[in-house]
Structure 1
Amino acid sequence: MTPRLDAIGIATADMAASLAFYRRLGLDIPAESDTAPHVECTLPNGLRLLWDTEDVVRSFDPTWTKPGVGEERVGLAFRCDSAAEVDAVHADLVDAGYQSHLKPWDAFWGQRYAVVLDPDGCGVQLFADTA
């Protein structure tokens, strides 16, 4: 058997704040999940996003320490349908109080790109093909 990517995990300091951010990106996460220590969301393609509170992570890995901003080890990228949608989603998140890390720009590789920080300081990339 060949291993396959099944899930991406996020350790969060504030479950409700993290889930609110990802709901704004279109993920269907029930409101009652806001108080849970562990949450899973299966995406349409079958990939799962998993959230655990920092306390849960420490419960099975007592040596775990929260990475600082810019020390993330996993990047999440959300494909948008157009460059205009990248701009609109970025603006919506910033207007909602989330921090922009990189404002929308046209990348040399032919995509519109932007990066917004989620509540835990993880960079979330927004992108769309420009050609």
Structure 2
Amino acid sequence: MAKNLHTIGMVVNDLGKSLSFYRTLGLDIPNGLDNEFHYEFTNKNGFSIGFIPKATMLKTDPNWIEPTGNARISLQFACNNPEEVNKTYSDLIEQGYQSFKEPWDAFWGQRFAQVLDPDGNNIGIFAEL
């Protein structure tokens, strides 16, 4: 039987802050999950992201060591148009999230911006030009 990639898992320091960040990016994540042991979001295409609080990871693997650096994982979110890239970026910055790179017209034909999620992961926001 063939295996299918189902979920990308992300260890997060604060589940509530992380879920709030990803709600701003349009993920339909219900409220009231801030103290759960794990939350798995699945989009309409069947792709899943598992948000695993650091405390849960340490219960599962007491020897787990938090990675360092700014490239733990990179996720990219598609927007409908360049204006939506600008607005999404602005909304995140206004909410206090850190910019990695302001929106620009990339040489590969996309409007592209990057922000850091609450755990320092680089999140791309893009749309075709």
TM-score class normalised by the smaller sequence: over 0.9
**Quick check: 61-70 or 121-130, which moved more?**
61-70
**Residue type at the aligned position of 1:64:** W
List 4+ stretches of structure 1 deviating above 6 A: none
RMSD: 1.2
Q: Deviations over 1:37-73 (max 9, x none)?
A: 201111010111111111211222233222234141x
- Stretches of structure 2 that go unaligned for 5 or more consecutive residues are none
What is the TM-score with the length of structure 1 in the denominator?
A: 0.92
Aligned counterparts of 2:52 and 2:79: Cα–Cα separation in 1: 27
Aligned counterpart, 2:50:
50
Matches within 5 A, 1:1-131: 1-72=1-72, 74-130=73-129
Q: CA deviation at 1:85?
A: 0.8
Which amino acid in 2 is paired with 1:8?
I
Q: Distance in 1 between matches of 2:24 and 2:109?
A: 26
The residue type paired with residue 121 of structure 1 is G
- The unaligned stretches of length 5 or more in structure 1 are none
**SS in structure 1 opposite 2:88?**
helix
Kindly tell me the number of residue pairs found equivalent between the two proteins: 129
TM-score between both structures, scaled by the size of structure 2: 0.93
